Amino acid sequence: DGKWDTPVGELEIDSELAGNLTAEFPFTVETSSRYEQDNTIELQLPFVKYFFPGVKIVPIGLPPTKSSIAIAVRSAELCRELGRKTLVLGSTDLTHYGYNYGFVPKGVGEDAVEWVKNENDRRIVELMVQMDETAVIAEALENQNACCSGAAAAAIAASKTLGAQRGYKILYATSYDIRPDTSFVGYAGIIFHP
């Protein structure tokens, strides 16, 4: 219940949808005084508020598990049942590479950058575009190429339930492209659409 404050204004929580979900699944409901330190959701919400000022939201943090996929599918079903016009967002960074992240399987330098771009991140981006939510989770857990693969998989599962049939990669880049360093992160923008 309530609202989520962003730098560009408040977003109202869809309490009916949230209530249905919390009645069916064992969530830890966060409050302004009791919450998980995670910037994934809070970084997206100012954009949501800016582009969709009157929208109601149900922000959910999901781990890389099969139950997250079930929650996503049920969320989409409930949106349909409640007659909601629905937009699903899932956010994850891709490979966190370098000594700052404790992940340097290919050392440092251009070979490492090329490996991240053309192998490690490429595999998971391809799975996202193919809309294979189960494989996205397995790939990320095995190869450390998505830090919030549960969110990505949930976005895929919910989008499929709502009728999406294909993913479209609109952008891929790394922080190395902007500021070369031995530690860097991959990013992709993917849209799921009928």
Residues 17-39 pLDDT 10s: 999 999 999 877 665 555 565 66
Q: Does 181 share its domain with 100?
A: yes
Q: Find, among 190, 22, 33, 20, the residue nearest to 121 by Cα.
A: 190
Digit-coded pLDDT (tens) for 68-113: 999 999 999 999 999 999 999 999 999 999 999 999 999 999 999 9
Q: How far apart (Å, rounded) are the C-alpha atoms in residues 20 and 165?
A: 26
102 and 47 in one domain? no
Give the C-alpha separation, 124 to 96, whole Å.
13
Q: Identify the pLDDT of residue 104.
A: 98
152, part of any domain: yes
Work out how many domains the chain is built from and give that number: 2
DSSP 14: -
Residues 100 and 171 in one domain: yes
**pLDDT confidence band for 148 (50 / 70 / 90):** very high
Question: What is the number of other CB atoms lying within 10 angstroms of the CB of residue 190?
Answer: 19
pLDDT at position 15: 95
Asked if the model's pLDDT at residue 123 lies above 80, the reply is yes
- Do 106 and 188 belong to one domain? yes
Q: How far is CA 136 from the centre of its chain?
A: 11
Q: pLDDT for 43-72, tens place per residue?
A: 899 999 999 999 999 999 899 999 999 999
167 and 119 within one domain: yes
**Residue 139 sits in which domain range?**
96-193
